[in-house]
Each structure stands twice: as structure tokens, then as C-alpha cells.
């Protein structure tokens, strides 16, 4: 059985105040907010890791280089701005 571990973190004063205000507004503890932030960060990072792994697989399969992808993104952005 895992036991909760206490972790000490530091935050700039204004961020700490924002966290406290948000926790109070949501009826949650400061710890709950930090845990939720950590969970969201980890989920987001896992999604990005999977996305990059998929992109690497596609690139290897199709022979597309990173430079070609960057060029296509830049061109697409230019085309969108012209619209």
C-alpha cells in the first residue's frame, strides 16, 4: 500500500496568493490544487510524447525530414495569413 508523501515546493509570492485564492474559490485545499496541476502537466506531457513518437514513426516510414515539416508549417501559416 502506497502512503502519501509530503513534498515541499516554493512559489513566488504572487503565484502562491493566486493558488490560495483559487483553492478558496473552489473549496479545495492548496495541496489539491498542486496535485491537480501536477496531474494535468503529466497528462499533457504524455500526450506530447506520444504525438512526437507518432510523428517520428511517420517520418521514418515516409522519409519526410524535420526541415521539410518545418517548411510546410511555415508555408501553411503564410497561406492562412493571406486569407
- Domain count along the chain: 1
Is 58 a member of any domain?
A: yes
Q: How far apart are CA 68 and CA 13, in angstroms?
A: 44
Q: How far are the Cα atoms of 1, 62, 63, 69, 78 from residue 83, in angstroms, in the given order?
A: 58, 30, 31, 21, 9
What pTM did the predictor assign?
0.70
Residue 17 falls inside a structural domain: yes
Q: pLDDT digits over 31-79, tens only?
A: 999 999 999 999 999 999 999 999 999 989 999 998 998 999 999 999 9
Q: pLDDT confidence of 24, banded at 50, 70, 90?
A: very high
Q: Is residue 44 part of a domain?
A: yes
Cβ atoms of 11 and 19 within 8 Å: the answer is yes
Q: What is the dihedral of CA 29, 30, 35, 37, to 10 degrees?
A: 120
d(CA 72, CA 74): 5
- pLDDT for the residue numbered 16: 95
> Has residue 5 been placed in a domain?
no
Domain that holds residue 19: 13-82
Amino acid at each position: 500500500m502506497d502512503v502519501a508523501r509530503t513534498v515541499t515546493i516554493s512559489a513566488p509570492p504572487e503565484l502562491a496568493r493566486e493558488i490560495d485564492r483559487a483553492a478558496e474559490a473552489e473549496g479545495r485545499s492548496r495541496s489539491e490544487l498542486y496535485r491537480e496541476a501536477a496531474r494535468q502537466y503529466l497528462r499533457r506531457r504524455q500526450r506530447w510524447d506520444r504525438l512526437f513518437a507518432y510523428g517520428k514513426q511517420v517520418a521514418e516510414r515516409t522519409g519526410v525530414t524535420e526541415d521539410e515539416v518545418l517548411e510546410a508549417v511555415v508555408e501553411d501559416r503564410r497561406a492562412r495569413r493571406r486569407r
